[in-house]
């Protein structure tokens, strides 16, 4: 089974939900940059203070900050992993490629979760996190289109992209993803 995975997709597509489920069942390290940043905010660290306002506006936290977080976790880990919500732009993707080369590791699959905007917005509004109000959600979608969507072509060119229909129940989507990893 493939063990070095990226989860890509718009906010609210269910990356975190599916990534957590799969990481638990397969014993992979689940690295969610969103969760790690929210933990820093909750702890009131210097890093969290820097990230808090940026996240509340629905913008991307600085590449240097996110990269430092990912590097420290991957450096200390030798087994399989699943990166959820990272990379989010081409700079982060290039930096990840460099880091993985240093670690002699390779991405085995990029799971692209695809879902209509109307369903995304509905899911996020019912989640109700601090950054889940209509104005911020619409800005996050714009940031996704401008900065993250170019990664679809980036990973397609590298023959790593596997699109998944992200509508349906959590179990249905989980089964679609599992079928891609065999």
- The contact set with ligand B4P (CB under 6 A) reads 9, 11-17, 33-34, 37, 54-55, 58-61, 66, 85-86, 88, 92, 123, 127, 140, 169-170, 173
Whose Cβ is closer to ligand B4P: residue 28's or residue 104's? Answer: 28
Whose Cβ is closer to ligand B4P: residue 159's or residue 169's? Answer: 169
Q: How far is the CB of 52 from ligand B4P (least distance, A)?
A: 10
Whose Cβ is closer to ligand B4P: residue 66's or residue 177's? Answer: 66
Q: How far is the CB of 98 from ligand B4P (least distance, A)?
A: 16
Token digits of residue 22: 């799969």
Q: How far is the CB of 108 from ligand B4P (least distance, A)?
A: 20
Whose Cβ is closer to ligand B4P: residue 14's or residue 28's? Answer: 14
Q: How far is the CB of 11 from ligand B4P (least distance, A)?
A: 4
Spatial distance between the Cα atoms of 117 and 126, rounded to a whole number of angstroms: 14
Q: How far is the CB of 131 from ligand B4P (least distance, A)?
A: 6
HEC string of the chain equals CCCEEEEECCCCCCHHHHHHHHHHHHCCEEEEHHHHHHHHHHHCCHHHHHHHHHHHHCCCCCHHHHHHHHHHHHHCCCCCEEEECCCCCHHHHHHHHHHHHHCCCCCCEEEEEECCHHHHHHHHHHHCCCCCCHHHHHHHHHHHHHHHCHHHHHHHHCCCEEEEECCCCHHHHHHHHHHHHC
At which residue do the structure tokens 């679609």 appear? 176
Whose Cβ is closer to ligand B4P: residue 74's or residue 173's? Answer: 173
For ligand B4P, which residue has the nearest CB?
34
């Amino acid at each position: 089974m493939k063990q070095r995975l990226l989860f890509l997709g718009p906010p609210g597509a269910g990356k975190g939900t599916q990534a957590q489920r799969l990481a638990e069942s397969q014993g992979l390290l689940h690295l969610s940059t969103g969760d790690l940043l929210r933990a820093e905010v909750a702890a009131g660290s210097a890093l969290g203070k820097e990230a808090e306002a940026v996240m509340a506006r629905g913008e991307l936290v600085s590449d240097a900050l996110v990269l430092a977080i990912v590097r420290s976790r991957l450096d200390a880990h030798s087994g399989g992993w699943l990166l959820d919500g990272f990379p989010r732009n081409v700079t982060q993707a290039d930096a990840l490629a460099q880091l993985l080369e240093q670690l002699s590791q390779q991405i085995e699959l990029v799971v692209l979760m695809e879902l209509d905007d109307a369903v995304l917005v509905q899911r996020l509004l019912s989640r109700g996190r601090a950054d889940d109000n209509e104005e911020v959600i619409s800005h996050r979608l714009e940031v996704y289109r401008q900065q993250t969507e170019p990664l679809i072509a980036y990973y397609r060119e590298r023959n790593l992209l596997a699109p998944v229909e992200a509508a349906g129940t959590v179990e249905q989507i989980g089964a679609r993803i599992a079928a891609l990893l065999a």
